[in-house]
């Protein structure tokens, strides 16, 4: 079975400060990990993914994420937050060997960037 | 490339009625997945169709059904609507391979009164 946890319902950060949105996962085999962002009244948009290779993955809008196998984490980061980054962020995981083509999504973390 | 489109964007239905939602995936994508999003339950997987066959199914009652056509367009049907079916229904398309991301449509906001 595969699962993902986003331990924070909400993250508050001041504009210009670095931000981190946390994600931990559980899979039997190797993970495929994804981050998506959802703006109000919109569908989810793909930000970045980790499949294999370099543990630091860079994605859209200046976001990056670090894969840590020993801590089973895939935290989303950005060096300098913008007010326009305020949105709902979802982490998702697929087990490479689990046989399911469907990702499991976390419950989402609301990011609020204050001016 | 055009994105994923969903119609209608908004629907208001009465309890007991049925509803059909439509999704057109990105050209070339053979997998279409449906999700229900509510504030309390988050994003819940309904089912996935790949090349006209249901490949995966979530834990929803039989009132929720779907199908996929030869052009990969998909429809989702909910019969005997209940108040608890009020939600944002999202469609996502992908190549169907595990390493590839999903592309989501804007959703259909269903309100059941």
- Tell me the shortest Cα–Cα distance from A97 to chain B, in angstroms: 10
Q: Tell me which DSSP letter residue B64 carries.
A: E
Q: Tell me which DSSP letter residue A62 carries.
A: G
Residue A101 contacts B where some CB pair is shorter than 8 Å = yes
Q: Which of A49, A51, A105 sits opposite B43 (nearest CB)?
A: A105
| Phi, psi (degrees; rounded to nearest 5) at A102 | -105, 130
- Calculate the average pLDDT of chain A: 93
Supply the pLDDT for residue A100: 67
B4 and A102: CB-CB below 8 Å? Answer: no
Is residue A111 scored above 80 in pLDDT? yes
What are the CA-CA distances from residue A113 to residues A12, A64, B49 (Å)? 6, 17, 38
Is residue A21 scored above 90 in pLDDT? yes
Residue B26 contacts A where some CB pair is shorter than 8 Å = no
Give the end-to-end CA distance of chain B in Å, rounded to a whole number. 37
Whether the Cβ atoms of residue A77 and residue A58 lie closer than 8 Å to each other: no
Query: What average pLDDT does range A98-105 have in this prediction?
Result: 75
Grade residue A99 by pLDDT with cuts at 50, 70 and 90.
low
């Amino acid at each position: 079975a595969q699962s993902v946890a986003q331990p924070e319902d909400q993250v508050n950060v001041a504009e210009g400060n670095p931000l981190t949105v946390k994600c931990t996962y559980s899979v039997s085999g190797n993970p495929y990990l994804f981050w998506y962002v959802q703006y109000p009244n919109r569908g989810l948009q793909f930000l970045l993914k980790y499949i294999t290779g370099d543990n630091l993955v860079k994605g859209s809008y200046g976001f990056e994420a670090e894969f840590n196998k020993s801590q089973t984490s895939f935290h989303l980061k950005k060096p300098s937050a913008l007010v326009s980054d305020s949105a709902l962020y979802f982490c998702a995981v697929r087990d490479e060997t689990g046989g399911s083509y469907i990702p499991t999504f976390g419950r989402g973390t609301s990011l609020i960037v204050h001016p | 490339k055009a994105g994923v489109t969903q119609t209608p964007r908004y629907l208001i239905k009465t309890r007991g009625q049925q509803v059909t939602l439509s999704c057109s995936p990105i050209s070339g994508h053979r997998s279409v997945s449906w999700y229900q999003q509510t504030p309390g339950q988050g994003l819940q997987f309904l089912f996935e169709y790949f090349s006209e066959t249901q490949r995966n199914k979530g834990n929803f009652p039989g009132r929720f059904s779907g199908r996929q056509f030869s052009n990969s367009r998909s429809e989702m049907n909910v019969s005997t609507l209940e108040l608890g079916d009020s939600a944002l229904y999202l469609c996502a398309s992908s190549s169907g391979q595990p390493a590839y991301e999903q592309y989501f449509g804007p959703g259909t906001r269903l309100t059941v009164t």
